[in-house]
Structure 1
Amino acid sequence: MRNVVRRLTATLTASAVTLATVPSGPAFAAESTPSPTARPSSLPGARMSDNPFTDLKLTGLHAEERTMWPAGNPVRFWALVLNEDLLREDYAGGEFFLYAPDTGYHGWFLVTDIPMSSTPDPYQVVIADTTFLKGAPQAEVRYGIPQKPDSARVVATVTNPTFRLAL
């Protein structure tokens, strides 16, 4: 009986030490599962040579290396996001959407890990579609009614100086 009590005491002590050193609770949950409006920062060691947006001229946007966790596995990717000054502005009565005025096509944002055609939240303006951006001479992040792009406000632009119309 004495050995059982000793083993039980040792196990409980080890468990208590482990629980004391392992993060848990709401603070840990907030770190491991970011909110949809959280802006993940670039990971250390990011190499700008991997940035697929280096050839593009950006106004109101900047490139960030981000991480998403589909099925619990990290996936790193580059994305364009709004600059801090644009994030602080007040927006009401519309949605952000990606639009190419020369073609009339709409792009998409990557909200968490789901492609969305529009979003009301400026922190969810995450552009990861290089094909869309490089397939037109200019793309714009607009704010307003997506079905009426001509009346929407242009918030940011992406210009592709290497765009050549393929005939």
Structure 2
Amino acid sequence: MSVRTAFRATAIVMATAALGLGLASGAQAGTAVAPDARDSAAVAPAADHPFEAMELDGLKVKRLTMWPAGHPVSFWALVLDDKRAGEEYSGGKFFVYAPATKEFGWFLNMDIVRRTVSHPGQVVIVDSEFLRSHPRVEVRYGNPDRPEQARFVASATTWM
């Protein structure tokens, strides 16, 4: 993992934790029932999200909510569309790959940053900086040590 990728991953996790701690400081004692971390709001056609200028193939924009310390933190993410998420996958891992630079991105699995995930429902891309800094980013399935041989699943293209 490159230093740049590790720094980005750490920055997102720390920002999420800081938001959660800020919200938790005003919380009252008691137990809150946390809804599913995959709760999402429908994206309106005119919604303002960081993926507006991208051409998506096999991905869709979704507003997700995490509940650190029992308080909601909402964010925009790219997830697999229903067709791609419903396909059969076996014998590999999902990973984010920029073919032009041969760099890897990451997924946000709950509140943990991961380079690979096993299930299509875990494909959650929130790193808009990585997506915007590469002309084409692909979600692939297979062996991340051999990305050129992995199966293409989806892509996000930024026209520069």
Match of 2:50 in 1: 52
Establish whether residue 74 from structure 1 lines up as the match of residue 82 from structure 2: no
Residue 64 of structure 1 aligns with an amino acid whose one-letter code is: K
- Matched position secondary structure for 1:85: helix
- Matched position secondary structure for 2:89: coil
Give ranges in structure 2 of 5+ residues lacking alignment. Answer: 1-32
Match of 2:84 in 1: 86
> How do 1:9-88 residues align onto structure 2 when only pairs under 5 Å count?
32-34=34-36, 39-42=38-41, 48-88=46-86
How far the C-alpha of 1:39 sits from its partner, in A, is 4.1
Report the structure number with the largest CA radius of gyration: 1
Contact 2:135 2:157 (C-alpha < 8 Å) held by counterparts: yes
**Moved runs in structure 1, 4+ residues, more than 2 A?**
38-41, 45-50
Give ranges in structure 1 of 5+ residues lacking alignment. Answer: 1-28
Superposition CA RMSD, Å: 2.0
Deviations 1:93-147 (A, max 9, x none): 0000000000111000010011110001100000000000000100000000111
Alignment coverage as a number of residue pairs? 129
Q: 1:154 aligns with which of 145, 152, 155?
A: 152
Match of 2:126 in 1: 128
Residue 145 of structure 1 aligns with an amino acid whose one-letter code is: N
- Matched position secondary structure for 1:136: coil
Establish whether residue 96 from structure 1 lines up as the match of residue 94 from structure 2: yes
- Matched position secondary structure for 1:132: helix
- Matched position secondary structure for 1:71: helix
Identity across aligned pairs (percent)?
48
What's the TM-score once normalised by structure 2's chain length? 0.74
Residue 50 of structure 1 aligns with an amino acid whose one-letter code is: D
Q: Give the structure with the larger helix fraction.
A: 1
